[in-house]
Structure 1
Amino acid sequence: MTFDYKKEYKEFYMPKKKPNIITIPPMNYLAVKGKGNPNDKNGDYQQTISLLYNIAYTIKMSYKSSYQIDGFFQYVVPPLEGFWWQEGVKGMDYQRKDDLQFISLIRLPDFVKKEDFDWAIHTATQKKKQDFSRVEFLTYDEGLCVQCMHIGSYDNEPQTVSLMHEYMESMGYDLDIHDHRFHHEIYLSDPRKAKVENLKTVIRHPIKKKL
């Protein structure tokens, strides 16, 4: 049976529609940094997604090539994710989308090592005749967070974020967003296919114990 991270790690990808506290272990990702309004059809965000999926599927389909990844097993490519921030803003100002900076992400299976990533970059570059140098191999230890499932438009996320912050404070935590800990979103729905009111997005914020 094909391994599906969403099903095997429901605590990370399928939280309830009410906030909870969770510790996220270190994970490896494909990552591309960018900036600008994610709604721009020809903007940087759309380009980063294309780069990520090309490399993600090069790795996923590697078993059909002469290159064999040690420990490889069949898996579903994990969902698209994103770290988001704005200079000088703690949290998110949803009215200033042009000022957004982001890191688009796709989780890598644990068996994928840096040398396997390097092979995928080289292979995709040769096959697609495209520059994939923006794609990075990122190891990220997210740590202690508050998270919640958000249903609906991305523009309505502040309502869910407010619930998350109220909950974390009631549990004795402070928000810990800074240069290395970010507003984090995991996209479980394809906005090109799903109705806006049905979009499912995991929202995650880093926290720390109150002093």
Structure 2
Amino acid sequence: MTAAFDFKKEYRDLYLPKTTPALIDVGPMTFLAAAGAGDPNEEEGAYAAALEALYALSFTIKMAKKGDWQPEGYFDYVVPPLEGLWWGGGFDEARAADKGALRWVSLIRQPDFVTPEVLAWAAERVAAKKPGADVGRVRLVRFAEGPCAQIMHRGPYDDEPATVVALEAFVAASGREDDIAEPTSDEALLDALDAHGGVPAVRLHHEIYLGDPRRTKPENLRTVVRHPVRRA
């Protein structure tokens, strides 16, 4: 039996960087995306609702292998990890002064065979099985991040500032600077992200979550921290 394609293993440079900073050029990828605002730790809040919809759609698409229809080009795969773009709330790429005022886009990478038609097919099935899932908020976007600096953070999310400081020092020493700009609205950001494989005009602090905080001890969590950069 052929093993399911695992994006983390096949693209180790994107998902498994070292704990020392490095430069990387990130090419185009397809994502399911949901934008919102508010404290990500709030139970039954907007963030939790976004994740419910993203995971429901992602696993419905993956499990098409067991149905009587599969998208053209379908192959079996492991659902990639949750990712997030963050800004607002006094967020300075290191910490948030007010988590309740944070803004975010949550993302889950999809195989390139996922099209708007595939998303519509999955949304219809999720709506039938989970009427409470807000699948209407999820968009399909395709963009490249372009030149970035990244590092693996190990430990609790609240300890990330020290890792970000190390990343920023590396960026400055490399003759580069952050290329981060806040969008004017959630919709403007989603429109910008749907860049058809190009680098969007708006680029943000990016995190990729390799551990489940519900099942992993805080000290064992791994988070990829990635910043878009440009020549200073």
Bucket of the pairwise TM-score, normalised by the shorter protein: over 0.9
* Residue equivalent to 1:161: 164
* Residue equivalent to 1:53: 55
Shift of 1:3: 0.7
CA distance in 2, matches of 1:94, 1:151: 19
* Residue equivalent to 1:30: 32
Choose the corresponding residue for 2:41, options 22, 39, 53: 39
Identify which range, 196-205 or 79-88, moves more after superposition: 79-88
Q: What is the CA deviation profile of residues 166-211 of structure 1, one whole-angstrom value per residue up to 9, with x for unaligned ones?
A: 101111101111131111000000101111111100000111011x
* Residue equivalent to 1:139: 142
* Residue equivalent to 2:189: none
- Give the alignment's TM-score, normalised by structure 1: 0.95
1:203 aligned onto 2:205: no
CA distance in 2, matches of 1:205, 1:152: 19
Structure 1 segments, 4+ long, off by >4 Å, are: 87-90
Note if contact 2:30-2:143 (Cα within 8 Å) is conserved in structure 1: yes
Percent identity over the alignment? 45
CA distance in 1, matches of 2:139, 2:163: 31
Any stretches of 5+ residues in structure 1 without a counterpart?
none
Number of aligned residues: 210
Shift of 1:118: 1.5
Any stretches of 5+ residues in structure 2 without a counterpart?
184-201
CA distance in 1, matches of 2:25, 2:117: 28
Aligned-CA RMSD value: 1.4
1:181 aligned onto 2:183: no
CA distance in 1, matches of 2:44, 2:56: 17
* Residue equivalent to 2:194: none
Q: Which amino acid in 1 is paired with 2:109?
A: R
Q: Which amino acid in 1 is paired with 2:25?
A: T
Shift of 1:26: 1.2
CA distance in 1, matches of 2:24, 2:101: 29
Note if contact 2:89-2:100 (Cα within 8 Å) is conserved in structure 1: no
Shift of 1:52: 0.5
Q: Which amino acid in 2 is paired with 1:99?
A: A
Note if contact 1:91-1:177 (Cα within 8 Å) is conserved in structure 2: no
